[in-house]
């Protein structure tokens, strides 16, 4: 009996001891869920529009002779800089010199005959018709002489402006024809970027509207180059139904940007977007009542309270959904884990971007 009573005492002591332990797990404060938010702010410019672009020279000219002949001199190489008036190439001028001498002799005879005719018509020695014939022959000889001089001058091909020889199309001693392209000359003191703008955006393009327009080149990382408006086509391409817009820039020092290279042009107009907020695409949800976002309001001590906030939004853009109503600048919107928050839930929140 003594053994049984001792065992009972041990069991009771163990139970009492367990009951007397503090309930620390039940008394612990619940852990608050942290949320990731973004503070809405007014965007100064509208949505960025991106366009593929091709670099072009400010001026390009295909140079060709106005007369035919054998190319005796090709004075330039591809990539060579030339000044306006420099001789690019020459053709054999032997026949043109002979033609000039013949035209000169014919002109001198016609001039002498016409001068005698002036005297003879006064004395009545020749008829008016004979005089008119001499006058016509003199005018014709004068024209032929001028043409012969021009043709001789055309045997030298000169640069029409200062620039760089982009390409030569013929070889020395080759027989070239009139209007056959001999060399392509480009002015790259300024360079242009050409982009094709769709009809839906073309209606907003204006030279006088201030814009942020800049170019990026894939081979030049981390740099943007400002562009200026040059011109815009007023007729759409028959196939693509797009309009060509030309933008200009100065060649940046240290980089060799040449015609034919590709770039990305980005533009933003500060129209109505100056007073508009944008919501991230992932932050906007929708139910039977319409679109809404989860917002957080600070309640102090590093805490915030969740609220379901209906919003009215516009058409999606590259900056997100434009806000029409529902939230204002300074509002903190939940941007991640929206499925794990509820109305009036208290969360860990510092009043800024988590």
Over residues 29-45, the pLDDT tens digits come to 567 888 888 888 776 55
pLDDT for the residue numbered 351:
64
Q: Please tell me the predicted confidence (pLDDT) of residue 152.
A: 97
Do residues 53 and 73 both lie within one domain?
no
Angle at CA of residue 334, ends 332 and 339, nearest 5°: 155
85 and 157 assigned to the same domain: yes
Q: What letter does residue 204 receive in the DSSP assignment?
A: T
Q: What is the mean pLDDT of residues 51-61?
A: 92
Question: At 244, is the secondary structure helix, strand, or coil?
Answer: strand
Whether 291 is in a domain gets the answer yes
User: Reduced to 3 states, what is the DSSP secondary structure of residue 16?
Assistant: helix
Q: What is the mean pLDDT of residues 105-129?
A: 94
Look over the chain and give the mean of its residue pLDDT values, rounded to a whole number.
85
Q: Which residue has the higher pLDDT, 120 or 269?
A: 120
Domain match, 202 and 261 both: yes
Name 114's Cβ contacts closer than 8 Å, sequence gap at least 6. Answer: 134, 135, 137, 138
Domain boundary pick from 117, 150, 176: 176
Per-residue pLDDT at 108 exceeds 70: yes
Residue 142 domain flag: yes
Asked if residue 289 and residue 266 are part of one domain, the reply reads no
252 and 112 inside one domain: no
Tell me the H-state helices in the chain: 2-19, 24-27, 94-123, 128-153, 199-202
Q: Is residue 13 situated within a structural domain? A: no
Torsion angle in degrees (nearest 10) through CA of 95, 98, 102, 104: 120
Mean pLDDT value across residues 212-239? 86
Residue 147 lies in a domain: yes
143 and 216 belong to one structural domain: no
What pLDDT is stored for residue 30 in this prediction?
Answer: 65
- Same structural domain, 238 and 299: no
Q: pLDDT at residue 47 above 80?
A: no
Residue 11 has pLDDT above 90, yes or no: no
The reply to whether 295 falls in a domain is: yes
Of 42, 39, 37, which Cα lies nearest the Cα of 331?
A: 39
**Residue 345 buriedness (CB in 10 A; 0-12 / 13-18 / 19+):** middle
Same domain for 126 and 110 = yes
CATH of the domain at 323: 2.40.420.20
Q: Where among 176, 206, 225 does a domain terminate?
A: 176
- pLDDT of 3 reads 47
Q: Between 301 and 318, where is the model more confident? A: 301
Higher-confidence position of 301 and 161 = 161
Q: Which domain holds residue 138?
A: 64-176
The tally of domains found in the chain comes to: 3
So what's the pLDDT on residue 45?
Answer: 53
Confidence at 340, pLDDT banded by 50, 70, 90: confident
pLDDT in tens, 163-196: 999 999 999 999 999 999 999 999 988 899 999 9
Residues 282 and 217 in one domain: no
Q: Phi first, then psi: what are they for 334, rounded to 5°?
A: -70, 130
Q: What is the CATH number of the domain that holds 236?
A: 2.40.30.170
pTM: 0.57
- 164 in the same domain as 100: yes
Distance, in Å, from the CA atom of 253 to the CA atom of 311, rounded to the nearest integer, reads 49
- Final residue before a domain boundary, out of 146, 176, 206: 176
Query: Sorting pLDDT into bands at 50, 70 and 90, what band is 127?
Result: very high
What's the per-residue H, E or C state across 328-347?
A: CCCCEEEEECHHHCCCCCEE
């Amino acid at each position: 009996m003594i053994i049984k009573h001792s065992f009972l005492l041990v069991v009771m002591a163990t139970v009492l001891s367990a009951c007397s332990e503090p309930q620390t797990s039940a008394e612990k404060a619940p852990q608050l869920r942290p949320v990731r938010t973004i503070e809405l702010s007014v965007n100064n410019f509208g949505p960025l529009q991106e366009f593929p672009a091709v670099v072009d020279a400010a001026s390009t000219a295909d140079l060709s002779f106005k007369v035919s002949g054998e190319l005796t001199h090709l004075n330039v190489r591809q990539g060579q800089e030339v000044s306006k008036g420099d001789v690019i190439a020459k053709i054999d001028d032997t026949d043109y010199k002979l033609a000039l001498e013949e035209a000169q002799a014919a002109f001198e005879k016609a001039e002498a005959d016409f001068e005698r005719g002036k005297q003879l018509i006064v004395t009545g020695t020749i008829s008016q018709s004979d005089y008119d014939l001499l006058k016509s022959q003199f005018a014709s000889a004068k024209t032929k002489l001028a043409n012969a001089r021009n043709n001789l001058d055309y045997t030298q091909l000169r640069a029409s402006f200062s620039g760089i020889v982009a390409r030569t199309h013929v070889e020395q001693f080759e027989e070239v024809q009139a209007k056959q392209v001999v060399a392509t000359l480009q002015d790259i003191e300024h360079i242009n970027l050409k982009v094709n703008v769709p009809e839906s955006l073309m209606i907003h393009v204006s030279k006088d509207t201030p814009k942020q327009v800049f170019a990026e080149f894939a081979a030049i990382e981390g740099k943007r180059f400002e562009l200026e408006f040059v011109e815009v086509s007023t007729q759409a391409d028959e196939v693509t139904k797009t309009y060509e817009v030309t933008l200009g820039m100065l060649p940046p020092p240290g980089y060799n940007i040449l015609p034919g290279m590709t770039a990305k042009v980005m533009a933003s107009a500060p129209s109505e977007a100056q007073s508009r907020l944008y919501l991230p695409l992932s932050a906007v949800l929708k139910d039977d009542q319409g679109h809404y976002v989860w917002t957080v309001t600070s309640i102090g001590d590093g805490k915030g309270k969740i609220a379901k906030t209906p919003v009215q939004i516009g058409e999606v853009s590259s900056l997100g959904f434009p806000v029409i109503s529902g939230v204002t600048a300074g509002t903190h919107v939940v941007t991640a884990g929206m499925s794990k928050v509820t109305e009036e839930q208290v969360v860990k929140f510092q009043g800024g971007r988590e």
